[in-house]
Structure 1
Amino acid sequence: MTSPARTARAVITTMRPRQWTKNVLVLAAPLAAGVVWTRGTILDVVGTFIAFTLAASAIYLLNDVIDAEADRKHPRKRTRPVAAGLLAAPTALFCSGMCVGLGVGIGYVIAPRLAATLGIYVVLQITYALWLKRQAVIDLAIVASGFLLRAIAGGVAVDVPLSQWFLLVASFGSLFMVAGKRYSELRSIGAAAGTRKTLEAYSESYLRFVWSLAAAITITAYSLWAFEITSAGDVNWQAVSIAPFVIGLLRYAVDVDRGLAGEPEEAVLRDPILQIIGVTWLVVFAIGVYSS
């Protein structure tokens, strides 16, 4: 019989703590809008991070139950607790339901619209896990929507308007990351492994086209947005921020091109230069926003 401590460790592992870094995207809209960081605003953003972490963890738990058989054929995913037999499917499903309830509940306390955003995320991801992940192109859009909804959630939580440029950058930036993820998967394990059905429908050249196109639109939208924002000082810091933004995308694209971006958060965490570029961009952009 599995001990409670071992089961708890298996549940936490299945909740993918390393991927919780994605939920930092809830900071994007408040930072872009230049919100005043009062105690209430900080609590709302932290609460949104926790709520999205719970909602995403619920999907990971559910997905691992659904994909257990396929995961056993994958060189890395076969060690996941459900696939390896370390976590029973009923336990994983129970914990998934608990996470959804807690996440949406926290979202509702912060703002009813945030609860609705979380609900949309959960419904889309469940539909993806059960059906849409086998539909070529649609699977890219659904996974990208997960990143986009995180960015939207931060704006909804603190009640700031989301500009068209912000939504364009977030949308196509998300597509860039997802297409790069699929490209890396195709290069590392190939379509014949049978671990992801849609990989059979993609070629390396097609996915390269998608992530190149998404990167081009992201950079264009970001540049237009940066020049549209006026700065109170002599220096247009938003325009200056274009340089580290583009360099950061190009640096990340190196990992994509080498097939090393199958897990975007891992690609970022193992590259200190990319992290420095990211912090530089964030500082320059923040100076522009808060000085305008």
Structure 2
Amino acid sequence: MTGIDRHALPPLAVDLDGTLIRTDLLHETSLLLLRQSPLSLLSLPSWLARGKAWMKQQIAERVEPDYSRLPYDPDLLAWLRQERAQGRRLVLCTASDARLARGVADHLQLFDEVMASDGQTNLSSENKAQALAGRFGEQGFDYAGNSSDDLPVWRRARAAVVVAARPPVARAAAEQGRVEREFPAPQATLRVWLKALRLHQWLKNLLVFLPLMGAFRFDGAVLVASVLAFFAYGLCASSVYILNDLMDLDSDRAHPRKRLRPFASGLISVPRGLVAMLLLLSGAVLLSLQLPAAFQLALCVYYALTLAYTFFLKQRVLVDCVTLGMLYTLRIIAGVAATGLQHSFWFLAFPLFLFLSLAFVKRYSELQAMISLGRTSAAGRGYLASDAPLVMAMGVASGFCAVLLLALYLNSEAVVQNYTHPQRLWLTLPVVLYWIGRMWMQAQRGHLSDDPVVFAVKDRYSLACAVLFGALLVVAH
């Protein structure tokens, strides 16, 4: 458009939810309200009875997102800055509440005017079309939108800017009139969904096989029960990971790596995440019904504890690490419940302290990353940068306690009964001791990612330790 007077072009009205940002502020603020004031959700029906605009206003008065970390569409934002620099008038026109819309506008310093829902009128679809036509006249504005709700607006606009729209919406916009520009939607591919499910974290659920390995029992019924338990815990864990990500959107966006997660980056919407969470949880329940009632109880306790961790315990210093250690141990208890195999107290105490050490590794590596960015506190956590040495001390101590508990287990009657050469199992002690020491050494050097499981499956030394440990079980049997 070289040579065209940009001031002569009509104003460009820009939608917010799903257009300027790859999320919906109603969804985001509802999740924030659930996290910060769960009892307030009981008021939602009465708020909604007075209209959607009123409900949005009530939520916005109670919670606000961090506007600087919302997943803005970078291509659209760059184009809007270019249009503004060339003199075009930009209007933020959204169905979100005015308080939130002004927060976005104040952060971006890009818009000349804000039009939004005001507690009385929900500025969406026909209401938005009427408001814009009344403000700028029929065909007196261009409009950037993304959904079928924007079709009535495009009908009354001079031109359409189609952003991240589904193909049917894009076609309908083109049929209605002139499309000035299109910005394609980022695709939630299978790889993106697998990342959201965190399938690599299913490795933790291999712990349900530990009772089977400890007793060295691999007969059909026991093996099938362990496999069912593995998949039940996998589906349940993935549903929790999705919920955890949805509740942690703000803090994840403040993290150097977690900000790229599918929900934090806006690649997968909140509603789709909620549907996936319910489907995964339903699958876990169906699988658990094929196993003993004791396993179902263990799964329920695991899910309840993960919910408590997500909503309350995650922000509690030290309590979060103890909870993570308990969640690991619950997987082993579930394996015992699924198979009916009996083990000594030391068998369960060993992994509790081992995984408590790994939980501290996770927090320590997060603190290391935070310190490297010059921050003094962790977003969404209760830890300070100055806590790092103490976290490391407690983590190393927990790891060494785990080795002591493993020694006590190896000296128990259960090991003598299940293994022909139990004395050979004592060679596992230096293997575990070396591995724990290596994990902490790598964390201290800044080589460990914030997830020790991800690091371990990629680390050849960790894999060698796992193979050696398994070989010692075989030769001891």
Same fold (TM over 0.5): yes
Distance 1:92 1:47, change over 3 A: same
Amino acid across the alignment from 1:267 = F
| Contact 1:248–1:274 (CA under 8 A) maintained in structure 2 | yes
**1:272 match:** 460
In 2, Cα distance between equivalents of 1:145 and 1:182: 16
**2:442 match:** 255
Distance 1:114 1:60, change over 3 A: same
**2:66 match:** none
Structure with a larger share of its residues in helix: 1
Amino acid across the alignment from 2:215 = A
Q: Does 1:26 align with 2:205?
A: no
Secondary structure of the residue aligned to 1:6 is coil
Comparing 222-231 with 89-98, greater Cα deviation is found at 222-231
In 2, Cα distance between equivalents of 1:215 and 1:234: 26
Deviation string, structure 1 residues 97-136 (Cα, Å, up to 9, x no partner): 2211211221221222111111111111111111111111
Q: Does 1:150 align with 2:331?
A: yes
Partner residue of 2:194 out of 3, 8, 12: 12
**2:283 match:** 102
Q: Which runs of 5+ in 1 are unaligned?
A: none
Deviation string, structure 1 residues 126-176 (Cα, Å, up to 9, x no partner): 111111111111111111122111111111111111311111101101101
Deviation at 1:201, TM superposition (A): 8.2
Matches within 5 A, 1:44-59: 44-59=225-240
Q: Does 1:127 align with 2:308?
A: yes
TM-score normalised over the length of structure 1: 0.91
Distance 1:234 1:143, change over 3 A: closer
Deviation at 1:230, TM superposition (A): 2.9
Q: Does 1:117 align with 2:298?
A: yes
Secondary structure of the residue aligned to 1:121 is helix
Partner residue of 1:159 out of 340, 350, 375: 340
| Contact 1:226–1:242 (CA under 8 A) maintained in structure 2 | no
Secondary structure of the residue aligned to 1:241 is helix
Deviation at 1:192, TM superposition (A): 3.2
In 2, Cα distance between equivalents of 1:114 and 1:209: 35
Partner residue of 2:321 out of 140, 145, 163: 140
**2:9 match:** none
| Contact 2:376–2:385 (CA under 8 A) maintained in structure 1 | no
In 1, Cα distance between equivalents of 2:454 and 2:271: 29
Distance 1:233 1:160, change over 3 A: closer
Structure with a larger share of its residues in strand: 2
Deviation string, structure 1 residues 1-57 (Cα, Å, up to 9, x no partner): 458x8365543321111211111111111111222x122222211111111110110
Amino acid across the alignment from 2:441 = V
In 2, Cα distance between equivalents of 1:147 and 1:184: 19
Q: Does 1:284 align with 2:476?
A: no
**2:426 match:** 239
Deviation string, structure 1 residues 44-97 (Cα, Å, up to 9, x no partner): 111111111101100111011111122112111111111111111121112112
Q: Which runs of 5+ in 2 are unaligned?
A: 1-164, 168-186
TM-score normalised over the length of structure 2: 0.57
Q: What is the Cα-based RMSD across aligned positions, in Å?
A: 2.2
- How many residue pairs get aligned? The number is 288
Partner residue of 2:246 out of 61, 65, 71: 65
Distance 1:261 1:76, change over 3 A: closer
In 1, Cα distance between equivalents of 2:462 and 2:189: 36
